[in-house]
Amino acid sequence: MSAQSPGSVTRATLLDAAVAFAAGTGLTDVSLRQMASALGTSHRMLIYHFGSKEGLLVAVVDEVERRQREAMAALGDDAALTPSESMRRMWRTLAESSMWPFERLFFEVYGQALQGRTPMVAFLDTVVESWLEPATAVGVRAGLPRRRARAWARLGLAATRGLLLDLLATEDRKGCDDAMEALIAALPLELSGGSAAAGGR
């Protein structure tokens, strides 16, 4: 594979393959050379497209996050679903054991970013904001004032990530599901499918 030129394999193709590989094996204990071999490319090609193993880890997490935001948006656009039901379905997807390798990688990259490691630190620029805006838009469409919608979006994001961390640590799916249901039950009426006038909540 060393004869490949940088333009012969696209970054998107390699990233898709890396995401698929991470789903089955994870990436933490895999060297860049091992990753290149598994993806059918060269160490040089991965360096060219991602700069380093750390750059590849960030790219994989960013891509998985992007796909998850698209899934959230699709649920939000389904007129048959209330925001609370969309939240419940999104949680069920995220809590599946098939997602755990990605979530372990997410928390690893997040932790290293908080320690200021390069290139992970750039992850902090979008890790919250990229989710807050689309989630806030859901609340606004449901009838919440923007500031209140943003507060609930932030709470929902923080609670979901906290429960995912709990799930990875304990594997207590039932307990985490119950906690998510408690959060959903506490949502404003606008988000649960009721109306503010009906309950004044």
- Parse the chain into domains and list their residue ranges: 1-51, 61-192
Domain 1-51 has CATH 1.20.1270: no
Q: Is the peptide bond before 145 cis (omega within 30 degrees of 0)?
A: no
Domain 61-192 has CATH 3.40.50.10860: no
Q: What is the pLDDT of residue 7?
A: 53
Rounded Cα distance between 179 and 149, Å, is 21
Note whether 83 and 77 are within 8 A (CB).
no
- CA distances for 182 relative to 3, 30, 162, angstroms: 56, 39, 14
| pLDDT reading at 156 higher than 80 | yes
Q: What is the mean pLDDT of residues 40-66?
A: 92
How sure is the predictor about 192, in pLDDT bands with cuts at 50, 70 and 90?
A: confident
The more confident residue out of 89 and 5 is 89
| Residue-wise pLDDT tens digits, 129-154 | 999 999 999 999 999 999 999 999 99
**Interacting residues of 37 by C-beta distance below 8 A, sequence separation 6+:** none
Q: Six-digit token pair at 19?
A: 């995401």
| Residue-wise pLDDT tens digits, 54-65 | 899 999 999 999
Helix, strand, coil content of the chain in percent (nearest 5): 75, 0, 25
